[in-house]
Chain A
Amino acid sequence: MNSVLAAQTLLTAGDGGLDDHLSRYGRLPSLDGSQIVGLARDAELTGRGGGGFPMWRKLAAVAAAGTPAVVIANGAEGEPVSGKDRLLLTRKPHLVLDGLHLVALATGARAAHLYAPAALLPRLRESLAARGRAGLDKLPVTLTAAPDAFVSGEESAVASAIAGRGAVPADKRVRLVETGTLVQNVETLAHLALIARYGAGWFLSSGTFLATVSGAVARPSVVEARYGVPLGDLIGAAGGATENLRAVLVGGYHGGWVPADPALPVTREALAPFGAAPGAGVVVALPAHACGLVETAKITQYLAGQVAGQCGPCVNGLPRIAGTLADLAAGRPRPGLPGEAARLAALVTGRGACRHPDGTARLVLSAMRAFEADVAAHLNGRCLATGGRL
Protein backbone atom coordinates (compact mmCIF):
# COMPACT_ATOMS: atom_id res chain seq x y z
CA MET A 1 0.00 0.00 0.00
CA ASN A 2 1.14 3.54 -0.64
CA SER A 3 2.68 4.56 2.61
CA VAL A 4 1.11 8.01 2.38
CA LEU A 5 -2.41 6.66 2.28
CA ALA A 6 -1.85 3.89 4.79
CA ALA A 7 -4.35 3.98 7.61
CA GLN A 8 -5.67 7.51 7.49
CA THR A 9 -6.35 7.51 11.13
CA LEU A 10 -6.15 11.14 12.14
CA LEU A 11 -7.31 12.78 8.95
CA THR A 12 -10.31 10.61 8.07
CA ALA A 13 -13.28 12.81 7.39
CA GLY A 14 -14.94 14.04 10.53
CA ASP A 15 -17.21 16.90 11.46
CA GLY A 16 -15.49 17.47 14.77
CA GLY A 17 -18.61 16.54 16.72
CA LEU A 18 -18.68 14.21 19.70
CA ASP A 19 -21.22 11.79 18.17
CA ASP A 20 -19.05 11.37 15.11
CA HIS A 21 -16.03 10.83 17.36
CA LEU A 22 -17.70 8.20 19.54
CA SER A 23 -19.21 6.27 16.64
CA ARG A 24 -15.84 6.27 14.87
CA TYR A 25 -13.50 5.49 17.76
CA GLY A 26 -15.69 4.52 20.68
CA ARG A 27 -15.01 5.49 24.26
CA LEU A 28 -11.57 5.43 25.80
CA PRO A 29 -10.80 2.16 27.59
CA SER A 30 -10.20 2.63 31.28
CA LEU A 31 -6.48 2.67 31.96
CA ASP A 32 -4.40 3.57 34.96
CA GLY A 33 -1.47 5.97 34.96
CA SER A 34 1.31 3.42 34.64
CA GLN A 35 -0.50 1.64 31.82
CA ILE A 36 -0.69 4.91 29.90
CA VAL A 37 3.02 5.63 30.40
CA GLY A 38 3.77 2.04 29.35
CA LEU A 39 1.68 2.36 26.18
CA ALA A 40 3.45 5.60 25.18
CA ARG A 41 6.78 3.90 25.79
CA ASP A 42 5.99 0.68 23.94
CA ALA A 43 4.51 2.60 21.02
CA GLU A 44 7.69 4.71 20.89
CA LEU A 45 5.51 7.77 20.55
CA THR A 46 7.56 10.92 19.99
CA GLY A 47 6.52 14.56 20.24
CA ARG A 48 5.08 16.18 17.12
CA GLY A 49 5.65 19.79 18.11
CA GLY A 50 9.15 19.83 16.65
CA GLY A 51 11.46 18.31 19.25
CA GLY A 52 10.60 14.66 18.64
CA PHE A 53 11.20 13.76 22.27
CA PRO A 54 9.81 10.44 23.60
CA MET A 55 6.52 11.24 25.28
CA TRP A 56 6.75 8.61 28.00
CA ARG A 57 9.91 10.14 29.46
CA LYS A 58 8.15 13.46 29.90
CA LEU A 59 5.13 11.73 31.43
CA ALA A 60 7.33 9.87 33.88
CA ALA A 61 9.31 12.99 34.78
CA VAL A 62 6.18 15.07 35.42
CA ALA A 63 4.59 12.29 37.46
CA ALA A 64 7.80 12.11 39.54
CA ALA A 65 8.12 15.89 40.00
CA GLY A 66 6.33 15.71 43.33
CA THR A 67 4.20 18.79 42.73
CA PRO A 68 0.58 18.83 41.59
CA ALA A 69 0.92 18.33 37.83
CA VAL A 70 -0.48 20.62 35.16
CA VAL A 71 -1.02 19.25 31.67
CA ILE A 72 -1.27 21.45 28.61
CA ALA A 73 -2.24 20.58 25.05
CA ASN A 74 -0.21 22.83 22.78
CA GLY A 75 -2.11 23.85 19.67
CA ALA A 76 -0.40 27.21 19.18
CA GLU A 77 1.18 26.25 15.87
CA GLY A 78 3.21 29.43 15.63
CA GLU A 79 5.00 28.17 12.53
CA PRO A 80 3.47 30.07 9.57
CA VAL A 81 3.96 27.19 7.10
CA SER A 82 2.32 24.59 9.32
CA GLY A 83 -1.40 23.88 9.31
CA LYS A 84 -1.77 20.40 10.74
CA ASP A 85 -2.57 21.34 14.34
CA ARG A 86 -5.33 23.71 13.27
CA LEU A 87 -6.78 21.05 10.96
CA LEU A 88 -6.59 18.43 13.70
CA LEU A 89 -8.29 20.71 16.23
CA THR A 90 -11.03 21.43 13.70
CA ARG A 91 -11.59 17.90 12.47
CA LYS A 92 -10.68 15.74 15.48
CA PRO A 93 -10.79 17.89 18.62
CA HIS A 94 -12.04 14.94 20.67
CA LEU A 95 -8.97 12.84 19.94
CA VAL A 96 -6.86 15.70 21.29
CA LEU A 97 -9.09 16.04 24.33
CA ASP A 98 -9.00 12.27 24.89
CA GLY A 99 -5.22 12.46 24.79
CA LEU A 100 -5.19 15.36 27.23
CA HIS A 101 -7.42 13.33 29.54
CA LEU A 102 -4.99 10.40 29.32
CA VAL A 103 -1.90 12.44 30.17
CA ALA A 104 -3.78 14.02 33.05
CA LEU A 105 -4.42 10.50 34.35
CA ALA A 106 -0.82 9.43 33.73
CA THR A 107 0.60 12.38 35.68
CA GLY A 108 -2.08 12.72 38.33
CA ALA A 109 -2.71 16.25 37.10
CA ARG A 110 -4.91 18.67 38.99
CA ALA A 111 -5.42 20.98 36.01
CA ALA A 112 -5.72 20.50 32.26
CA HIS A 113 -5.39 23.21 29.63
CA LEU A 114 -5.86 23.55 25.91
CA TYR A 115 -3.86 26.32 24.31
CA ALA A 116 -4.84 27.25 20.77
CA PRO A 117 -5.24 30.20 18.39
CA ALA A 118 -8.09 32.49 19.42
CA ALA A 119 -10.06 31.78 16.23
CA LEU A 120 -10.44 28.10 17.21
CA LEU A 121 -11.61 28.70 20.77
CA PRO A 122 -15.38 29.13 20.23
CA ARG A 123 -15.71 25.71 18.59
CA LEU A 124 -13.43 24.09 21.12
CA ARG A 125 -15.60 25.52 23.87
CA GLU A 126 -18.57 23.72 22.26
CA SER A 127 -16.56 20.49 22.10
CA LEU A 128 -15.82 20.77 25.81
CA ALA A 129 -19.44 21.46 26.60
CA ALA A 130 -20.52 18.38 24.63
CA ARG A 131 -18.07 16.23 26.56
CA GLY A 132 -19.35 17.65 29.80
CA ARG A 133 -22.92 16.75 28.87
CA ALA A 134 -21.81 13.22 27.96
CA GLY A 135 -20.00 12.97 31.30
CA LEU A 136 -16.65 12.22 29.64
CA ASP A 137 -14.08 14.30 31.50
CA LYS A 138 -13.71 14.37 35.23
CA LEU A 139 -11.01 17.01 35.04
CA PRO A 140 -12.29 20.26 33.51
CA VAL A 141 -10.23 21.72 30.68
CA THR A 142 -9.39 25.43 30.58
CA LEU A 143 -9.02 27.15 27.21
CA THR A 144 -6.35 29.78 26.64
CA ALA A 145 -5.75 31.80 23.49
CA ALA A 146 -2.30 31.57 21.91
CA PRO A 147 -0.99 34.86 20.54
CA ASP A 148 -0.17 34.80 16.85
CA ALA A 149 3.62 34.69 17.11
CA PHE A 150 6.33 32.21 16.22
CA VAL A 151 7.58 31.61 19.75
CA SER A 152 4.15 31.52 21.38
CA GLY A 153 4.14 27.71 21.14
CA GLU A 154 7.51 27.22 22.80
CA GLU A 155 6.89 25.12 25.88
CA SER A 156 7.92 27.58 28.59
CA ALA A 157 6.06 30.35 26.71
CA VAL A 158 3.01 28.10 26.75
CA ALA A 159 3.30 27.55 30.50
CA SER A 160 3.74 31.28 31.03
CA ALA A 161 0.70 32.12 28.89
CA ILE A 162 -1.41 29.60 30.81
CA ALA A 163 -0.33 31.30 34.03
CA GLY A 164 -1.52 34.63 32.61
CA ARG A 165 1.92 36.18 32.21
CA GLY A 166 2.00 36.32 28.42
CA ALA A 167 3.55 33.85 25.99
CA VAL A 168 7.10 34.64 27.00
CA PRO A 169 9.76 31.90 27.08
CA ALA A 170 11.47 31.37 30.43
CA ASP A 171 14.91 30.34 31.59
CA LYS A 172 15.36 26.56 31.78
CA ARG A 173 17.69 26.16 34.76
CA VAL A 174 14.88 24.14 36.26
CA ARG A 175 13.36 22.12 33.44
CA LEU A 176 9.67 22.54 32.86
CA VAL A 177 8.88 18.88 33.56
CA GLU A 178 10.64 19.20 36.92
CA THR A 179 8.08 21.82 37.87
CA GLY A 180 5.31 19.32 37.17
CA THR A 181 4.21 20.96 33.94
CA LEU A 182 3.62 18.83 30.87
CA VAL A 183 3.33 20.52 27.49
CA GLN A 184 2.48 18.22 24.58
CA ASN A 185 1.68 19.03 21.03
CA VAL A 186 -1.97 18.38 20.14
CA GLU A 187 -1.02 15.83 17.48
CA THR A 188 1.06 13.85 19.98
CA LEU A 189 -2.00 13.72 22.24
CA ALA A 190 -4.26 12.58 19.42
CA HIS A 191 -1.90 9.71 18.67
CA LEU A 192 -1.95 8.71 22.34
CA ALA A 193 -5.74 8.60 22.20
CA LEU A 194 -5.54 6.10 19.33
CA ILE A 195 -2.79 4.06 21.02
CA ALA A 196 -4.98 3.76 24.12
CA ARG A 197 -7.68 2.20 21.94
CA TYR A 198 -5.71 0.10 19.47
CA GLY A 199 -2.52 -0.69 21.37
CA ALA A 200 1.18 0.01 21.10
CA GLY A 201 1.73 -2.75 18.57
CA TRP A 202 -0.85 -1.23 16.26
CA PHE A 203 0.94 2.13 16.42
CA LEU A 204 4.33 0.54 15.71
CA SER A 205 2.95 -0.96 12.52
CA SER A 206 0.36 1.62 11.48
CA GLY A 207 1.05 4.85 13.38
CA THR A 208 1.33 8.00 11.29
CA PHE A 209 2.46 11.60 11.37
CA LEU A 210 0.92 14.71 9.91
CA ALA A 211 2.80 16.80 7.38
CA THR A 212 1.94 20.21 6.02
CA VAL A 213 3.13 20.32 2.43
CA SER A 214 3.32 23.65 0.64
CA GLY A 215 5.40 25.64 -1.83
CA ALA A 216 5.59 24.54 -5.48
CA VAL A 217 2.97 21.80 -5.18
CA ALA A 218 -0.40 21.48 -6.92
CA ARG A 219 -2.50 21.15 -3.76
CA PRO A 220 -0.83 22.59 -0.67
CA SER A 221 -2.33 20.53 2.12
CA VAL A 222 -1.94 18.53 5.28
CA VAL A 223 -1.18 14.89 4.53
CA GLU A 224 -0.88 11.86 6.74
CA ALA A 225 1.91 9.34 6.31
CA ARG A 226 4.21 6.95 8.11
CA TYR A 227 7.74 7.90 9.10
CA GLY A 228 10.03 6.61 6.39
CA VAL A 229 7.73 7.79 3.61
CA PRO A 230 9.81 8.88 0.60
CA LEU A 231 9.85 12.66 0.22
CA GLY A 232 8.48 12.28 -3.32
CA ASP A 233 5.37 10.47 -2.04
CA LEU A 234 4.66 13.24 0.48
CA ILE A 235 4.90 15.84 -2.27
CA GLY A 236 2.83 13.58 -4.52
CA ALA A 237 0.09 13.44 -1.90
CA ALA A 238 -0.10 17.24 -2.12
CA GLY A 239 -0.77 17.03 -5.84
CA GLY A 240 2.87 16.71 -6.86
CA ALA A 241 5.43 19.35 -7.72
CA THR A 242 4.26 21.97 -10.16
CA GLU A 243 7.73 22.24 -11.68
CA ASN A 244 11.26 21.03 -11.13
CA LEU A 245 12.36 21.55 -7.58
CA ARG A 246 15.59 23.12 -6.43
CA ALA A 247 15.43 21.89 -2.83
CA VAL A 248 12.93 21.06 -0.11
CA LEU A 249 12.71 22.61 3.34
CA VAL A 250 11.90 19.89 5.86
CA GLY A 251 11.05 20.62 9.48
CA GLY A 252 9.86 24.16 8.92
CA TYR A 253 11.61 27.43 9.63
CA HIS A 254 13.70 25.73 12.30
CA GLY A 255 14.42 22.84 9.94
CA GLY A 256 16.84 22.29 7.13
CA TRP A 257 17.11 22.30 3.35
CA VAL A 258 17.44 18.86 1.79
CA PRO A 259 17.95 17.95 -1.88
CA ALA A 260 14.75 17.47 -3.90
CA ASP A 261 15.36 13.72 -3.96
CA PRO A 262 12.02 11.88 -4.25
CA ALA A 263 13.52 8.74 -2.71
CA LEU A 264 14.79 10.45 0.45
CA PRO A 265 13.02 8.79 3.40
CA VAL A 266 11.48 11.16 5.91
CA THR A 267 13.04 9.86 9.10
CA ARG A 268 15.24 11.38 11.74
CA GLU A 269 18.22 9.28 10.61
CA ALA A 270 17.94 9.93 6.87
CA LEU A 271 17.46 13.68 7.32
CA ALA A 272 20.17 14.17 9.95
CA PRO A 273 23.07 14.41 7.45
CA PHE A 274 21.35 17.50 6.01
CA GLY A 275 20.88 19.05 9.42
CA ALA A 276 17.14 18.49 9.10
CA ALA A 277 14.57 16.42 10.99
CA PRO A 278 10.88 15.63 10.44
CA GLY A 279 10.17 18.06 13.29
CA ALA A 280 6.55 19.20 13.17
CA GLY A 281 6.15 17.75 9.67
CA VAL A 282 6.53 20.90 7.65
CA VAL A 283 7.58 20.43 4.02
CA VAL A 284 8.10 23.37 1.66
CA ALA A 285 9.02 22.69 -1.97
CA LEU A 286 11.31 25.30 -3.51
CA PRO A 287 10.84 25.62 -7.29
CA ALA A 288 13.90 25.53 -9.55
CA HIS A 289 13.45 29.13 -10.62
CA ALA A 290 13.64 30.39 -7.04
CA CYS A 291 16.89 31.18 -5.29
CA GLY A 292 17.49 29.27 -2.06
CA LEU A 293 19.56 32.09 -0.65
CA VAL A 294 16.85 34.66 -1.25
CA GLU A 295 14.29 32.33 0.31
CA THR A 296 16.49 31.64 3.34
CA ALA A 297 17.19 35.35 3.75
CA LYS A 298 13.44 36.02 3.82
CA ILE A 299 12.79 33.32 6.39
CA THR A 300 15.69 34.47 8.54
CA GLN A 301 14.41 38.02 8.38
CA TYR A 302 11.04 36.76 9.58
CA LEU A 303 12.62 34.72 12.39
CA ALA A 304 14.74 37.69 13.50
CA GLY A 305 11.54 39.71 13.72
CA GLN A 306 9.97 37.04 15.90
CA VAL A 307 12.49 37.01 18.75
CA ALA A 308 10.86 37.32 22.13
CA GLY A 309 13.22 40.18 22.95
CA GLN A 310 14.67 38.85 26.17
CA CYS A 311 18.08 37.36 25.52
CA GLY A 312 21.03 39.50 24.44
CA PRO A 313 22.68 37.04 22.06
CA CYS A 314 19.36 36.25 20.33
CA VAL A 315 18.13 39.85 20.16
CA ASN A 316 21.45 40.99 18.70
CA GLY A 317 22.52 37.88 16.84
CA LEU A 318 19.42 37.01 14.83
CA PRO A 319 19.09 40.42 13.13
CA ARG A 320 22.82 40.25 12.36
CA ILE A 321 22.39 36.81 10.80
CA ALA A 322 19.43 38.09 8.80
CA GLY A 323 21.46 41.07 7.59
CA THR A 324 24.33 38.81 6.57
CA LEU A 325 22.00 36.56 4.61
CA ALA A 326 20.34 39.55 2.98
CA ASP A 327 23.77 40.71 1.80
CA LEU A 328 24.54 37.26 0.46
CA ALA A 329 21.18 36.99 -1.27
CA ALA A 330 21.51 40.40 -2.87
CA GLY A 331 25.10 39.71 -3.88
CA ARG A 332 26.58 42.50 -1.78
CA PRO A 333 29.88 40.78 -1.17
CA ARG A 334 32.01 41.83 1.72
CA PRO A 335 35.12 40.12 3.01
CA GLY A 336 34.49 36.80 4.72
CA LEU A 337 30.77 36.88 4.00
CA PRO A 338 29.89 33.16 3.83
CA GLY A 339 32.04 32.39 6.85
CA GLU A 340 30.32 35.20 8.74
CA ALA A 341 26.91 33.50 8.47
CA ALA A 342 28.34 30.25 9.83
CA ARG A 343 30.23 32.05 12.59
CA LEU A 344 27.13 33.93 13.76
CA ALA A 345 25.04 30.76 13.61
CA ALA A 346 27.50 29.02 15.91
CA LEU A 347 27.68 32.09 18.14
CA VAL A 348 23.95 32.24 18.92
CA THR A 349 23.41 28.48 19.29
CA GLY A 350 22.52 27.49 22.85
CA ARG A 351 22.56 31.10 24.05
CA GLY A 352 18.93 31.88 24.67
CA ALA A 353 16.20 30.96 27.09
CA CYS A 354 14.52 29.04 24.29
CA ARG A 355 15.77 27.26 21.20
CA HIS A 356 14.69 29.92 18.76
CA PRO A 357 18.30 30.96 18.07
CA ASP A 358 19.31 27.29 17.74
CA GLY A 359 16.57 26.62 15.21
CA THR A 360 17.43 29.73 13.22
CA ALA A 361 21.10 28.75 13.22
CA ARG A 362 20.21 25.26 12.02
CA LEU A 363 18.30 26.65 9.06
CA VAL A 364 21.13 29.00 8.11
CA LEU A 365 23.82 26.32 8.36
CA SER A 366 21.77 23.94 6.24
CA ALA A 367 21.29 26.66 3.63
CA MET A 368 25.04 27.28 3.53
CA ARG A 369 25.55 23.61 2.74
CA ALA A 370 22.58 23.05 0.43
CA PHE A 371 23.22 26.21 -1.57
CA GLU A 372 27.01 26.18 -1.52
CA ALA A 373 27.25 26.65 -5.28
CA ASP A 374 24.75 29.52 -5.11
CA VAL A 375 26.85 31.22 -2.44
CA ALA A 376 29.92 31.07 -4.66
CA ALA A 377 27.92 32.38 -7.63
CA HIS A 378 26.36 35.22 -5.61
CA LEU A 379 29.76 36.32 -4.40
CA ASN A 380 30.71 36.61 -8.05
CA GLY A 381 27.61 38.63 -8.82
CA ARG A 382 25.62 35.84 -10.50
CA CYS A 383 22.51 33.94 -9.47
CA LEU A 384 22.17 30.30 -10.52
CA ALA A 385 18.40 30.28 -10.10
CA THR A 386 17.61 33.22 -12.33
CA GLY A 387 20.69 32.73 -14.49
CA GLY A 388 21.24 36.47 -14.49
CA ARG A 389 23.51 38.97 -12.87
CA LEU A 390 22.58 40.21 -9.44
Chain B
Amino acid sequence: MTDALWYFARGSGVVALVLLTIVVVLGIGSRSGRSVFGLPRFAVSLLHRNAALLAVVFLAGHVIGLLFDSYAQLRLFDLVVPFVGKYRPLWEGLGTVGFDLLVAIVVTSLLRNRLGAGVWRAVHWLAYLCWPVALLHGLGTGTDRGTWWLWTISLTCAGAVVAAVGWRVSPAFARFPARAERRVAPRLLEEASR
Protein backbone atom coordinates (compact mmCIF):
# COMPACT_ATOMS: atom_id res chain seq x y z
CA MET B 1 0.00 0.00 0.00
CA THR B 2 2.61 2.51 1.03
CA ASP B 3 4.73 1.58 -1.94
CA ALA B 4 1.85 2.22 -4.28
CA LEU B 5 1.31 5.63 -2.71
CA TRP B 6 4.97 6.41 -3.04
CA TYR B 7 5.05 5.50 -6.72
CA PHE B 8 1.89 7.44 -7.32
CA ALA B 9 3.28 10.52 -5.61
CA ARG B 10 6.52 10.38 -7.55
CA GLY B 11 4.83 9.77 -10.87
CA SER B 12 2.29 12.53 -10.47
CA GLY B 13 5.06 14.92 -9.43
CA VAL B 14 6.95 14.26 -12.63
CA VAL B 15 3.83 14.60 -14.76
CA ALA B 16 3.02 17.88 -13.03
CA LEU B 17 6.48 19.19 -13.88
CA VAL B 18 6.08 18.26 -17.53
CA LEU B 19 2.66 19.89 -17.62
CA LEU B 20 3.95 23.04 -15.97
CA THR B 21 6.63 23.23 -18.61
CA ILE B 22 3.99 23.00 -21.31
CA VAL B 23 1.98 25.67 -19.50
CA VAL B 24 4.92 28.06 -19.37
CA VAL B 25 5.81 27.54 -23.03
CA LEU B 26 2.19 27.98 -24.13
CA GLY B 27 1.87 31.02 -21.88
CA ILE B 28 4.82 32.64 -23.57
CA GLY B 29 3.40 31.55 -26.90
CA SER B 30 0.04 33.15 -26.26
CA ARG B 31 1.75 36.30 -25.03
CA SER B 32 3.34 36.64 -28.45
CA GLY B 33 -0.02 37.06 -30.13
CA ARG B 34 1.11 34.62 -32.79
CA SER B 35 -0.25 31.25 -33.69
CA VAL B 36 2.05 28.65 -32.17
CA PHE B 37 2.57 25.11 -33.49
CA GLY B 38 0.02 25.97 -36.16
CA LEU B 39 -2.68 26.51 -33.53
CA PRO B 40 -4.85 29.61 -33.60
CA ARG B 41 -4.20 32.10 -30.80
CA PHE B 42 -7.35 31.33 -28.86
CA ALA B 43 -6.48 27.61 -28.93
CA VAL B 44 -3.02 28.34 -27.56
CA SER B 45 -4.63 30.34 -24.78
CA LEU B 46 -7.16 27.61 -24.01
CA LEU B 47 -4.50 24.90 -24.01
CA HIS B 48 -2.41 27.04 -21.70
CA ARG B 49 -5.29 27.28 -19.28
CA ASN B 50 -6.35 23.65 -19.48
CA ALA B 51 -2.82 22.35 -19.13
CA ALA B 52 -2.48 24.51 -16.02
CA LEU B 53 -5.65 23.09 -14.53
CA LEU B 54 -4.45 19.58 -15.32
CA ALA B 55 -1.11 20.35 -13.69
CA VAL B 56 -2.99 21.35 -10.57
CA VAL B 57 -4.81 18.01 -10.58
CA PHE B 58 -1.54 16.07 -10.79
CA LEU B 59 0.07 18.27 -8.22
CA ALA B 60 -2.84 17.62 -5.88
CA GLY B 61 -2.27 13.89 -6.44
CA HIS B 62 1.40 14.34 -5.70
CA VAL B 63 0.72 16.20 -2.48
CA ILE B 64 -2.11 13.98 -1.25
CA GLY B 65 0.00 10.91 -1.94
CA LEU B 66 2.78 12.34 0.21
CA LEU B 67 0.40 13.39 2.97
CA PHE B 68 -0.53 9.77 3.44
CA ASP B 69 2.95 8.45 2.94
CA SER B 70 4.60 7.38 6.17
CA TYR B 71 8.09 7.90 4.82
CA ALA B 72 7.81 11.51 3.62
CA GLN B 73 5.93 12.48 6.79
CA LEU B 74 4.39 15.49 5.09
CA ARG B 75 2.05 17.47 7.33
CA LEU B 76 -0.69 19.87 6.16
CA PHE B 77 1.39 22.56 7.78
CA ASP B 78 4.23 21.84 5.31
CA LEU B 79 1.96 22.69 2.41
CA VAL B 80 1.91 26.28 3.52
CA VAL B 81 5.19 26.92 5.33
CA PRO B 82 8.33 25.91 3.47
CA PHE B 83 11.67 24.60 4.82
CA VAL B 84 10.37 23.20 8.12
CA GLY B 85 9.63 19.68 6.94
CA LYS B 86 11.12 16.57 8.44
CA TYR B 87 12.28 14.98 5.21
CA ARG B 88 15.01 16.89 3.29
CA PRO B 89 13.60 20.24 4.41
CA LEU B 90 15.42 22.31 1.77
CA TRP B 91 14.24 20.34 -1.26
CA GLU B 92 10.83 19.66 0.13
CA GLY B 93 10.58 23.36 1.04
CA LEU B 94 11.15 24.25 -2.60
CA GLY B 95 8.20 22.05 -3.41
CA THR B 96 6.11 23.94 -0.90
CA VAL B 97 7.16 27.27 -2.41
CA GLY B 98 6.31 26.06 -5.91
CA PHE B 99 2.98 24.67 -4.75
CA ASP B 100 2.00 27.90 -3.01
CA LEU B 101 3.03 30.00 -5.98
CA LEU B 102 1.02 27.81 -8.33
CA VAL B 103 -2.02 28.02 -6.09
CA ALA B 104 -1.70 31.82 -6.08
CA ILE B 105 -1.35 31.95 -9.86
CA VAL B 106 -4.26 29.62 -10.54
CA VAL B 107 -6.60 31.19 -7.99
CA THR B 108 -5.94 34.73 -9.25
CA SER B 109 -6.48 33.51 -12.80
CA LEU B 110 -9.81 31.97 -11.96
CA LEU B 111 -10.86 35.17 -10.17
CA ARG B 112 -9.36 37.38 -12.85
CA ASN B 113 -12.61 39.12 -13.70
CA ARG B 114 -13.16 40.05 -10.13
CA LEU B 115 -9.58 41.01 -9.21
CA GLY B 116 -8.88 43.09 -12.30
CA ALA B 117 -6.13 42.72 -14.83
CA GLY B 118 -3.50 44.54 -12.75
CA VAL B 119 -3.47 42.16 -9.79
CA TRP B 120 -3.81 39.15 -12.02
CA ARG B 121 -0.88 40.15 -14.22
CA ALA B 122 1.35 40.98 -11.28
CA VAL B 123 0.76 37.57 -9.72
CA HIS B 124 1.13 35.86 -13.07
CA TRP B 125 4.72 37.05 -13.32
CA LEU B 126 5.42 34.67 -10.43
CA ALA B 127 5.19 31.86 -12.98
CA TYR B 128 8.78 32.68 -13.89
CA LEU B 129 9.68 31.85 -10.28
CA CYS B 130 7.31 28.94 -9.83
CA TRP B 131 8.62 26.86 -12.71
CA PRO B 132 12.36 26.87 -11.82
CA VAL B 133 11.47 26.18 -8.19
CA ALA B 134 9.45 23.18 -9.25
CA LEU B 135 12.30 21.96 -11.44
CA LEU B 136 14.87 22.25 -8.64
CA HIS B 137 12.52 20.52 -6.24
CA GLY B 138 12.24 17.59 -8.64
CA LEU B 139 15.97 17.37 -9.15
CA GLY B 140 16.88 17.66 -5.51
CA THR B 141 14.43 15.46 -3.74
CA GLY B 142 12.78 12.15 -4.20
CA THR B 143 13.98 8.66 -4.77
CA ASP B 144 14.39 9.24 -8.48
CA ARG B 145 16.93 11.99 -8.13
CA GLY B 146 19.97 11.18 -10.16
CA THR B 147 18.24 8.65 -12.37
CA TRP B 148 18.95 9.08 -16.04
CA TRP B 149 15.31 9.36 -16.98
CA LEU B 150 14.55 12.12 -14.52
CA TRP B 151 17.58 14.02 -15.74
CA THR B 152 16.43 13.58 -19.31
CA ILE B 153 12.95 14.85 -18.54
CA SER B 154 14.27 17.76 -16.47
CA LEU B 155 16.79 18.81 -19.09
CA THR B 156 14.19 18.60 -21.86
CA CYS B 157 11.82 20.74 -19.82
CA ALA B 158 14.57 23.23 -19.05
CA GLY B 159 15.54 23.36 -22.71
CA ALA B 160 11.97 24.07 -23.75
CA VAL B 161 11.54 26.88 -21.25
CA VAL B 162 14.94 28.42 -21.95
CA ALA B 163 14.16 28.40 -25.67
CA ALA B 164 10.74 29.99 -25.07
CA VAL B 165 12.17 32.68 -22.81
CA GLY B 166 14.93 33.34 -25.32
CA TRP B 167 12.29 33.82 -27.98
CA ARG B 168 10.30 36.03 -25.60
CA VAL B 169 13.18 38.49 -25.15
CA SER B 170 14.28 38.44 -28.79
CA PRO B 171 13.16 41.11 -31.24
CA ALA B 172 11.48 38.42 -33.36
CA PHE B 173 8.91 37.87 -30.60
CA ALA B 174 6.57 40.75 -31.41
CA ARG B 175 4.04 40.12 -34.13
CA PHE B 176 3.88 43.80 -35.02
CA PRO B 177 7.42 45.08 -34.50
CA ALA B 178 6.52 48.49 -35.92
CA ARG B 179 3.79 48.97 -33.36
CA ALA B 180 4.30 52.01 -31.13
CA GLU B 181 4.62 51.35 -27.44
CA ARG B 182 1.63 52.29 -25.29
CA ARG B 183 2.84 54.37 -22.39
CA VAL B 184 1.08 57.20 -20.58
CA ALA B 185 2.59 60.54 -21.61
CA PRO B 186 4.68 61.83 -18.68
CA ARG B 187 3.48 65.41 -19.19
CA LEU B 188 0.01 64.37 -18.06
CA LEU B 189 1.35 63.16 -14.73
CA GLU B 190 3.47 66.20 -13.99
CA GLU B 191 1.12 68.18 -11.79
CA ALA B 192 0.02 65.09 -9.92
CA SER B 193 3.54 64.29 -8.79
CA ARG B 194 4.19 67.78 -7.50
Contact = CB atoms under 8 A, between A and B. Distances in A.
The answer to whether A and B touch in the complex, with CB atoms under 8 Å apart, is yes
Interface of A: 118, 144-149, 151-152, 157, 161, 164-168, 306-312, 315-316, 319
14 contacts: A147-B188, A148-B187, A149-B187, A149-B188, A151-B188, A157-B188, A166-B188, A166-B189, A306-B185, A307-B185, A308-B188, A309-B183, A312-B182, A315-B180
Nearest to A146: B191
Interface residues of B, number: 15
A168 B189 contact: yes
Contacts of A306: 185
B174 to A, nearest CB: 13
Contacts of B180: 315-316, 319
Contact of B191 (A161, A307, A310): A161
Contacts of B184: 166, 168, 308-310
A165 B191 CA distance: 10
Among A161, A166, A307, A312, residue most surrounded by chain B Cβ atoms (within 10 Å): A166
Among A168, A309, A311, A315, residue most surrounded by chain B Cβ atoms (within 10 Å): A309
A287 B193 CA distance: 42
Contacts, number: 54
B179 A316 contact: yes
A18 B41 CA distance: 64
Interface of B: 179-185, 187-194
Given A145-B194, A166-B192, 8 more contacts: A147-B189, A152-B188, A166-B184, A166-B188, A167-B188, A168-B189, A316-B180, A319-B180
Contacts of A309: 182-185
Contacts of B182: 309-312, 315
Nearest to B194: A145
Nearest to A149: B187
Contact of A147 (B181, B183, B191): B191
Nearest to A152: B188
Contact of A168 (B181, B188, B194): B188
A164 B189 CA distance: 9
Contact of A164 (B181, B190, B192): B192
A164 B192 CA distance: 6
Among A148, A151, A316, residue most surrounded by chain B Cβ atoms (within 10 Å): A316
B163 to A, nearest CB: 29
B192 A165 contact: yes
Nearest to B185: A309
A101 to B, nearest CB: 25
A268 B189 CA distance: 35
A78 to B, nearest CB: 10
A165 B184 CA distance: 12
A319 B194 CA distance: 30
A25 B39 CA distance: 72
A309 B186 CA distance: 9
A357 to B, nearest CB: 13
A151 B185 CA distance: 10
Given A312-B179, A316-B179, A149 B192 contact: no
A285 to B, nearest CB: 29
A146 B191 CA distance: 7
A152 B184 CA distance: 12
Nearest to A315: B180
B183 A167 contact: no
A167 B191 contact: yes
Contacts of B187: 147-149
Among B182, B183, B187, B194, residue most surrounded by chain A Cβ atoms (within 10 Å): B187
B116 to A, nearest CB: 13
Contacts of B194: 145
Nearest to A319: B180
Minimum-distance CB pairs A-B, first 10: A166-B189, A166-B192, A145-B191, A309-B185, A167-B188, A147-B191, A315-B180, A149-B187, A147-B190, A309-B183
A161 B190 CA distance: 10
A165 B180 CA distance: 24
A29 B181 CA distance: 53
A179 B134 CA distance: 46
B185 A308 contact: yes
B139 to A, nearest CB: 42
B2 to A, nearest CB: 57
Contacts of A157: 188
A166 B185 CA distance: 10
Contacts of A167: 188-189, 191-192
B192 A118 contact: no
B13 to A, nearest CB: 42
Contacts of A311: 182
Contacts of A161: 191-192
Contacts of B183: 309
A338 B192 CA distance: 41
A40 B193 CA distance: 37
Contact of B185 (A146, A149, A316): A149
A359 to B, nearest CB: 17
B58 to A, nearest CB: 38
Nearest to A307: B185
A316 B192 CA distance: 26
A168 B188 CA distance: 6
Contacts of A166: 184, 188-189, 191-193
Contacts of B190: 147
B188 to A, nearest CB: 5
